[in-house]
């Protein structure tokens, strides 16, 4: 069993040669061995589950070291338990998913005993490119679909989490032949060479801007892509919403992983006049969860200096252009001296469109608070911006809720909560427009990583085709013309 990880010294052309060779071997193995049995798929899934269970402590330690500080409980929740759910679900249902699906044969072929079905075939080798924010969950969650559909996989984890990426390379090389799974570590240069490979499918999880490069590279080989991207996920608090319950859930979503979540609420719309109620309620929610922040073991750091500076830049840019900044710092701690890059949750009010924070995905513990007079104002704002990955509505007004849901298009929606739709394995997870294309999780993941092959079996009851073969007869014409009607 050989490891496919690139040492930091290896130059990218060397890695490229090795990646091409592994892909070629995986393709040959797929052709030679054909679609794997359900038992082999389950075995691959079991090995993945075993890796997570056996390495849970190492996983949490690597993630904390990579982030500067990351809550162990949060890592257990998001990257350990969060990685297991999809794999277990796939194991349970994959035999059912693998069954051919009967479809209806068309008249008149059905009369002759013609039969139609869809058979789900593995695609072959899937290329998986992952981000740094949940290095394990973003790897194992798509693997559930990739393995259940019978594929092999090559992965390129993020350079921002070097320890977690090295751990992934080590874990997979200990449990899989590289003909089944191969991990290549490295930065954007390795990512670029990786996305130019003639995979059977690429799934990219990362930023919208990088997603465009991936799609361009994949287009050269006509490789289909699933793009799981980011963006600005809006939240609307309706007039009928219970404010404290809403801020408890919103601030939890904003502070988990220090807001470094593709699904984190990016901005919140509150009814005009409710801003102060929102601010005081949000302060209360934060203090209840995090009486202090700086040394609180539950509160995670911003990943690195670059992202810390980016987020501080949003605050100073907004402040200089007239925004009101409300830092929520329950214990009044001094954040100017600290070993990690922790940023207290910060609300930004009176934000205008010329501010950077209004234009870019926040991806950190900052939240813009906007106001609306009528809910259509919030809907119109959302519709003049790129389609988001998620949208959240809080309130009890069903008419308003369906107006918001019907008039906006987002990858997914949670009502009276944030982000929890991602935890429903039976719902497709994916974006739309600028937030991505294609979806996975559960049965949708199985289908996303399968080729739905159409199979038609001609009936033997009588040779229907003889009417359709030349020489064409007046009878055929009569039959055909009988079909030309409204």
Confirm or reject binding of residue 228 to ligand NAD (CB under 6 A).
yes
The torsion defined by the Cα of 267, 272, 274 and 280, in degrees rounded to 10, comes to 50
Q: For residues 268 and 378, give the distance between their C-alpha atoms in angstroms, rounded to a whole number.
A: 10
CB of 295 to ligand NAD, least distance (A): 27
Q: Which of 262, 275, 361, 425 is catalytic?
A: 262
CB of 138 to ligand NAD, least distance (A): 6
The torsion defined by the Cα of 189, 193, 195 and 197, in degrees rounded to 10, comes to -170
Binding mask 418-437 for ligand NAD (x = CB under 6 A): -------------x----x-
Confirm or reject binding of residue 210 to ligand NAD (CB under 6 A).
yes
Closer to ligand NAD by Cβ: residue 144 or 229: 229
Closer to ligand NAD by Cβ: residue 122 or 131: 131
Among 199, 363, 446, 449, binds ligand NAD (CB under 6 A): 363
Among 12, 75, 195, 346, binds ligand NAD (CB under 6 A): 195
Three-class DSSP labels, the chain: CCCCCCCCCCCHHHHHHHHHHHHHHHHHHHHHHCCCCHHHHHHHHHHHHHHHHHCHHHHHHHHHHHHCCCCHHHHHHHHHHHHHHHHHHHHHHHHHHHCCEEECCCCCHHHHCCEEEEEEEECCEEEEECCCCCCCHHHHHHHHHHHHCCCEEEEECCCCCHHHHHHHHHHHHHHCCCCCEEECCCCHHHHHHHHCCCCCEEEEECCHHHHHHHHHHHHHCCCCEEEECCCCEEEEECCCCCHHHHHHHHHHHHHHHHHCCCCCEEEEEEECCCHHHHHHHHHHHHHHHCCCCCCCCCCCCCCCHHHHHHHHHHHHHHHHCCCEEEECCCCCCCCCCCCCCCCCCEEEECCCCCCHHHHCCCCCCEEEEEEECCHHHHHHHHHCCCCCCEEEEECCCHHHHHHHHHHCCCCEEEECCCCHHHHCCCCCECCCHHHEECCECHHHHHHHCEEEEEEEECCCCCCHHHHCCCCCCHHHHHHHHHCCCC
Residues between 141 and 160 that touch ligand NAD (CB under 6 A): 156-160
Confirm or reject binding of residue 138 to ligand NAD (CB under 6 A).
yes
Among 74, 133, 257, 281, binds ligand NAD (CB under 6 A): 133
CB of 223 to ligand NAD, least distance (A): 13
Instruction: Determine whether 228 is an active site residue.
Output: yes
Closer to ligand NAD by Cβ: residue 36 or 234: 234
Confirm or reject binding of residue 205 to ligand NAD (CB under 6 A).
yes
Instruction: Determine whether 60 is an active site residue.
Output: no
Closer to ligand NAD by Cβ: residue 226 or 408: 226
Other CB atoms within a 10 A radius of the CB of residue 185 amount to: 24
Part of the chain binding ligand NAD (CB under 6 A), chosen from 4-12, 222-230, 243-251, 461-469: 222-230
Binding mask 16-55 for ligand NAD (x = CB under 6 A): ----------------------------------------
Confirm or reject binding of residue 438 to ligand NAD (CB under 6 A).
no
Part of the chain binding ligand NAD (CB under 6 A), chosen from 7-15, 177-185, 190-198, 377-385: 190-198
Closer to ligand NAD by Cβ: residue 303 or 378: 303
Query: Considering CB under 6 A, how many residues would be counted as binding ligand NAD?
Result: 31
Among 389, 390, 391, 414, binds ligand NAD (CB under 6 A): 389
Confirm or reject binding of residue 187 to ligand NAD (CB under 6 A).
yes
Binding mask 90-129 for ligand NAD (x = CB under 6 A): ---------------------------------------x
Among 256, 262, 311, 315, binds ligand NAD (CB under 6 A): 262
Paired with 452 in beta bridges are: 120
The torsion defined by the Cα of 335, 299, 305 and 326, in degrees rounded to 10, comes to -50
Among 40, 49, 207, 215, binds ligand NAD (CB under 6 A): 207
Q: Which of 16, 178, 180, 228 is catalytic?
A: 228
Among 266, 361, 425, 444, binds ligand NAD (CB under 6 A): 361
Among 85, 114, 131, 265, binds ligand NAD (CB under 6 A): 131
Query: Catalytic residue positions?
Result: 228, 262
* Contact residues: ligand NAD, CB under 6 A: 129-133, 138, 156-160, 187-188, 191-192, 195, 205-207, 210, 213-214, 228-230, 262, 361, 363, 389, 431, 436
């Amino acid at each position: 069993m050989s490891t496919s990880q690139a040492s930091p010294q290896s130059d990218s052309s060397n890695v490229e040669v090795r990646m091409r060779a592994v892909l070629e071997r995986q393709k040959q193995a797929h052709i030679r061995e054909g679609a794997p049995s359900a038992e082999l798929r389950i075995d691959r899934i079991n090995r993945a589950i075993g890796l997570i269970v056996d390495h849970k402590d190492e996983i949490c330690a690597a993630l904390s070291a990579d982030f500067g500080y990351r809550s162990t409980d949060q890592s257990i929740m998001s990257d350990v338990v969060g990685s297991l759910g999809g794999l277990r679900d796939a194991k349970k249902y994959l035999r059912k998913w693998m069954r051919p699906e009967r479809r209806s044969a068309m008249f008149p072929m059905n009369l002759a005993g013609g039969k139609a079905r869809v058979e789900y075939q593995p695609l072959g080798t899937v290329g998986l490119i992952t981000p740094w924010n949940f290095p394990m969950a973003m790897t194992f969650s798509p693997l559930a679909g990739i393995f259940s559909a019978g594929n092999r996989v090559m992965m390129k984890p993020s350079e921002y989490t070097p320890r977690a990426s090295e751990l992934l390379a080590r874990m997979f090389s200990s449990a899989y032949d590289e003909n089944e799974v191969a991990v290549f570590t490295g930065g954007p240069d390795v990512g670029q060479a990786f996305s130019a490979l003639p995979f059977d499918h690429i799934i990219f999880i990362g930023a919208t801007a990088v997603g465009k490069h991936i799609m361009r590279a994949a287009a050269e080989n006509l490789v289909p892509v699933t793009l799981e991207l980011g963006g600005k996920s809006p939240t609307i608090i309706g007039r009928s919403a219970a404010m404290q319950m809403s801020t408890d859930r919103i601030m939890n979503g904003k502070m988990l992983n220090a807001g470094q979540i593709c699904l984190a609420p990016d901005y919140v719309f509150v009814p005009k006049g409710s801003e102060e109620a929102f601010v005081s309620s949000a302060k209360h929610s934060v203090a209840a969860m995090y009486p202090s922040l700086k040394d609180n073991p539950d509160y995670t750091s911003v990943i690195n200096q670059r992202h810390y500076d980016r987020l501080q830049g949003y605050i100073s840019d907004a402040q200089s252009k007239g925004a009101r900044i409300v830092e929520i710092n329950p214990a009044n701690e001094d954040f100017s001296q600290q070993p990690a890059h922790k940023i207290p949750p910060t609300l930004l009010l009176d934000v205008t469109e010329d501010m950077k924070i209004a234009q870019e995905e926040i991806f950190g513990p900052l939240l813009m608070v906007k106001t609306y007079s009528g809910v259509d104002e919030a809907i119109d704002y959302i519709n003049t911006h790129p389609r988001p990955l998620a949208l959240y509505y809080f309130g009890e007004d069903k008419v308003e809720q369906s107006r918001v849901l019907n008039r906006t298009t987002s990858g997914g929606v949670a009502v009276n909560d944030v982000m929890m739709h991602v935890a429903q394995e039976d719902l497709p997870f994916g974006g739309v427009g600028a937030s991505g294309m294609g979806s996975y999780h559960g049965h949708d993941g199985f289908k996303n990583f399968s080729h739905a092959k159409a199979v038609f079996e001609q009936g033997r009851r009588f040779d229907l085709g003889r009417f359709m073969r030349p020489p064409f007869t007046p009878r055929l014409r009569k039959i055909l013309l009988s079909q030309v009607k409204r």
